[in-house]
Amino acid sequence: MSNPGQNSPLIWLRPGMHVKRWLFVLILGIVLVSLGLAYLLRHLYSDLTFPTISYWLTLQFISRPARAVLLGSFGIGLIVLAMLKINQSLLRPFLAPNQENVGERVFRHHQRRRGPRIVVMGGGTGLSTLLRGLKVHSDNITAIVSVADDGGSSGRLRQATGMPPPGDIRQCLVALSEAENLTGHLFQYRFSDEYGLAGHNFGNLFIAAMAEITGSFEQGVVESSRVLAVRGRVIPSTLKDVTLAADVRVESETNGYGWQRVVGESAIPAARSRIERVYLEPESVPAYPEAIKAILQADFIVAGPGSLFTSVLPNVLVPSVAAAIRASTARKLYICNVATQPGETEDFDVEDHVRALQRHVGNLFPEVLANDRIIASTGEQAHLKPVALPPQSPTDYTLLTADVIDEARPWRHDSAKLAKVILDIYAEPVV
């Protein structure tokens, strides 16, 4: 709901609207036409004889400066009234009831177009939560998504068609969509058994169909983005068929502790064992070129939030993606989860998250953002423990803390809070 002040025609004079220059051109055109008419009337007035009433109609009983001020003021008022009414008449059909003023929408559009170029990488609910908040501030967002998912609808489509799994990409497209409410519900709709499509999301099937129609998975994602009116881009980290594997710690009655190899993204957390290392098979896969281009052109690179081992790391384990991040001059930030994740980061604190990341890719993200408002989860989510801050200030990375928690769901980030903190960090100089 917009406030009354937003309905004023003066909103079009705000900086960044890209309207004042054309308003000036309009007024200049009107002035030139008026001067032309004035010269013509002056010529006719000199050569012709007019009835007495013309004396009163042309306000000759008032001094010329006073006439200029009076007519000029009246003309400006008519211009403003005409612009306001044209605005209301032409654009009202395109706005839903109670939607914000057109001028406010235009202003926000131009503000977002000038927003920072932000690359975010990860997958699952965490990444879509972040995107939902960032899209309010910038249209220059690129989400780089893992393609190692092998479970659920995505896994079945991957096996059946050979294309990369669309699930995480679907969630990011919905999060960045302008029509998130209705179209988002449609894309997230999961079929029941009665249709013979049990477990499939409509959005996954839509992306698969679009990929078939356009001839490639990446083009299918592009066209799906247009259907959803996505702000920004969603692209895979690689187009190659990759499998995520892990070395996990197991306990044996005869040999004590040992290591076991687990294959498949969905199988890794299901093993419920401490994860020592995750890796892609094959390891040396090429990155999607658009992902490298986005990283090198970025102003800010953000990893997470999301499942550390199965969403965040699979992206940076693509060798050329990690190399591009190292080469980039952008600011780089890792967002730590606010709660532990069963099967992946049980009993982890912030330090454990960072050390796991460093074991795999080194100090790729010198800044780390963590939640500093601890709220314990209750009910069915009581097993998800808050991720604790380290007892001492780290020396090999910069720890930034803020209240970024969703109070209603303390095991998740709050979209608006997280986006605001990230933009505040971007605006501050690097210490």
Indicate if the alpha-carbon torsion angle 301, 151, 169, 201 is positive or negative: negative
Pairwise CA distance, residues 123 & 148, whole Å? 10
Amino acid at 418: L
Q: What per-residue confidence (pLDDT) applies to 301?
A: 97
pLDDT value of position 6: 46
Domains of the chain: 4-110 (no CATH), 111-240+281-427 (3.40.50.10680)
In the prediction, which pLDDT does 4 show?
A: 43
DSSP 372-388: -------GGGTTSPBPP
User: Quick one: which of 87, 151, 81 has its CA closest to 307?
Assistant: 151
Q: Which amino acid is at 12?
A: W
C-alpha closest to that of 302 among 339, 330, 278:
330
Task: Supply the pLDDT for residue 26.
Answer: 79
| Res 103: pLDDT | 59
CB 132 within 8 A of CB 314: no
Task: Write out the two tokens for 82.
Answer: 């005409």
pLDDT at 381: 87
Torsion region of 98: left, alpha or beta (phi above 0 gives left; psi -120 to 50 gives alpha): left
Q: For 227-256, how does the pLDDT look when each residue is reduced to its tens digit (9 = 90+)?
A: 888 889 999 999 999 999 999 988 766 666
How many degrees, rounded to 5, is the angle at CA 242 between CA 240 and CA 245?
Answer: 165
Give residue 157's pLDDT. 85
- Cβ pair 299, 332 in contact under 8 A: no
pLDDT at residue 5, as a whole number: 46
Spell out the residues 6+ positions from residue 367 whose beta carbon is closer than 8 angstroms to its own.
331, 332, 333, 334, 397, 398, 400, 425
pTM of the model: 0.77
pLDDT tens per residue, range 288-308 = 999 999 999 999 999 989 999
Per-block mean pLDDT, blocks of 10 residues, the chain (431 long): 48 63 79 83 73 74 80 81 71 56 59 83 90 91 91 80 87 84 78 72 89 92 89 93 91 72 91 92 94 96 94 95 96 96 92 96 96 89 91 92 94 95 90 63
pLDDT of residue 151: 76
Measure the CA–CA gap between 139 and 58, rounded to whole angstroms: 54
